[in-house]
């Protein structure tokens, strides 16, 4: 089963969902805004992709975080509480397929994983 985590109104998440729908691939969607995310889930993803990759420093939400808090994000233990509080800071979508974790939308990587 494909698990996709994100926020419904995120354009990148919409691209990923459309891509999966066009290929008639079934998936389970986990909405960060409605359900949140656990520290355990963040830790599992970080094992695969690194905690730094989970923090979307290019998004508008990061720019709303005060500079002192931004500077304090130096490792997983400082990043995870912020990511759980402000789930919009998580790079989206997060795709889980078996033991594989993908961040963002990359059509080539999706083709490889879901061939």
Task: Note if the bond before 13 is cis, omega within 30 degrees.
Answer: no
Question: Are residues 37 and 14 in contact, defined by beta-carbon separation less than 8 angstroms?
Answer: no
pLDDT over 90 at 115, yes or no = no
Give per-residue pLDDT as tens, 27-44.
999 999 999 999 999 999
Average pLDDT over residues 73-96: 97
Tell me the pLDDT of the chain averaged across its residues: 96
Place of tokens 């994000």: 73
Instruction: State the catalytic residue, choosing from 4, 10, 55, 95.
Output: 10
pLDDT score at 4 = 97
Give per-residue pLDDT as tens, 54-76.
999 999 999 999 999 999 999 99
For 29-50, give the DSSP string: EEEHHHH---HHHHHHHHHHH-
Q: Has 18 been annotated as catalytic?
A: no
Which domain CATH number covers 28?
3.40.30.10
Number of domains into which the chain is organized: 1
- The domain of 14 spans 2-114
Model confidence, pTM: 0.93
């Amino acid at each position: 089963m494909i698990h996709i985590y994100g926020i419904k109104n995120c354009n990148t998440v919409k691209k990923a969902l459309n891509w999966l729908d066009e290929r008639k691939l079934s998936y389970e969607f986990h909405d960060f805004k409605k359900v949140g995310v656990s520290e355990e889930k963040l830790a599992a993803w970080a094992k695969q992709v690194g905690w730094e990759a989970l923090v979307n420093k290019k998004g508008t939400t990061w720019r709303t975080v005060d500079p002192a808090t931004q500077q304090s994000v130096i490792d997983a233990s400082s990043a995870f509480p912020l990511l759980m509080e402000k789930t919009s800071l998580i790079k989206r979508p997060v795709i889980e397929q078996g033991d594989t974790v993908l961040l963002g939308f990359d059509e080539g990587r999706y083709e490889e994983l879901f061939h």
